């Protein structure tokens, strides 16, 4: 049974990078954490999945001759770095958090155990899921859908640099229109590159709605959850 007030926010590594070329942009991380606090204060239980692309992306690393699976493990470790950075920032705002990792790194973060993670949420802790699915050849988008299903979340919000899915690239064509709603099938059939196919298929099979919005816009996370602001819903 889905829990209406339990939501999952997927933050890409790129979002944490803001205007920087690598790593973290403190201003944007601070704003994102402020936005998460706003949602928490509205009474939502918040799950977070963080990406790692600002530090290491498996496909790119593999191009220089590192075996793909190894490169992917490097990528998953990058998500742990991001997770503890976000954790620290959230806690500085008075929130209680836990980082749970699909890959055990027990001196730094907790190991992911589904029932424990649910208990953390019930106790009002923000749970940050690190290491994606824990398996190479997957993405943190797939990790986000998987955890959202496991946690019985009602919706996934994917924070990107754009405020939804457009008919064309809005930066290249100002006549491009933003879709209000798309089906999971539309995204798969039209090959819309908003999430990888594994993630979308998993969401489709488990009737998990996803909303795409601009995470760089302060206050937008809370607005989009309350059906205000700009977004595209995929369901
Ligand atoms: N990764 C993986 N399995 C997972 C999740 C992530 O192997 O379940 C690796 C993969 O190499 C990926 C990297 O971790 O490129 C960082 O994750 P992702 O690219 O999804 O981050 P984002 O694009 O959201 O920043």
Quote the strand ranges of 23-176, DSSP E: 45-50, 97-101, 110-111, 126-130, 153-160
63 — phi, psi (to 5°)?
Answer: -65, -25
Q: Give the pLDDT confidence of 103-152 residue by residue, as tens digits.
A: 999 999 999 999 999 999 999 999 999 999 999 999 999 999 999 999 99
Q: What pLDDT does residue 105 have?
A: 98
138 is in an annotated binding site: yes
Report domain 6-234's class: alpha beta
Q: Looking at residue 171, what is its pLDDT?
A: 86
The domains of the chain are located at 6-234
Stretches where the chain sits below pLDDT 70 are: none
pTM over 0.85: yes
Whole-number Å distance between alpha carbons of 164 and 156 = 14
SS3 assignment, position 101: strand
Q: Which atom of ligand 1 is nearest to the CA of 60?
A: 15
Question: Is 129 among the annotated ligand-binding positions?
Answer: no
Q: SS in 3 state form for the chain? A: CCEEEEEEEEECHHHHHCCCCCCCCHHHHHHHHHHHHHHHHCCCEEEEEECCCCCCCHHHHHCCCCCHHHHHHHHHHHHHHHHHHHHHHHHHCCCCEEEEECCCCCCCCEECCHHHHHHHHHCCCEEEEECCCCCCCCCHHHHHHHHHHHCCEEEEEEEECCCCCECCCCCCCCCCCECCEECHHHHHHCCCCCCCHHHHHHHHHCCCCEEEEECCCCCHHHHHHCCCCCCEEEC
Q: How far is the CA of 131 from the centre of ligand 1 (A)?
A: 8
For atom 22 of ligand 1, the residue with the nearest CA is 51
Cβ(57) to ligand 1 under 6 A? Answer: yes
Ligand 1 pocket mutation pick from 54, 59, 63, 132 by most atoms within 8 angstroms of CB: 132
- Which atom of ligand 1 is closest in space to residue 141's alpha carbon? 20
């Amino acid at each position: 049974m889905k829990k209406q007030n339990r939501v999952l926010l997927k933050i890409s590594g790129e979002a944490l990078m803001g205007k920087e070329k690598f790593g973290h942009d403190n201003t944007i991380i601070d704003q994102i954490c402020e936005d998460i606090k706003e949602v928490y204060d509205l009474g939502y239980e918040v799950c977070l999945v963080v990406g790692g692309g600002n530090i290491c992306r498996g496909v790119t690393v593999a191009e220089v001759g590192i075996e793909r699976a190894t490169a992917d493990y490097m990528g998953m470790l990058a998500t742990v770095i991001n997770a503890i950075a976000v954790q620290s920032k959230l806690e500085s705002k008075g929130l209680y958090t836990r980082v749970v990792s699909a890959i055990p790194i027990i001196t730094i973060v907790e190991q992911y155990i589904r029932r424990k993670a649910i208990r953390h949420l019930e106790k009002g802790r923000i749970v940050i899921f690190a290491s994606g699915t824990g398996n190479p050849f997957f993405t943190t988008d797939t990790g986000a859908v998987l955890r959202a299903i496991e946690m019985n979340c009602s919706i996934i919000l994917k924070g990107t640099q754009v405020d939804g899915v457009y008919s064309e690239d809005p930066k290249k064509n100002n006549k491009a229109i933003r879709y209000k709603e798309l089906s999971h099938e539309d995204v798969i059939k039209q090959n819309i590159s908003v999430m990888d196919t594994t993630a979308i298929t998993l969401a489709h099979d488990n009737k998990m709605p996803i909303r795409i919005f601009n995470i760089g816009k302060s206050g937008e996370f809370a607005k989009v959850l309350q059906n205000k602001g700009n977004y595209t819903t995929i369901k």
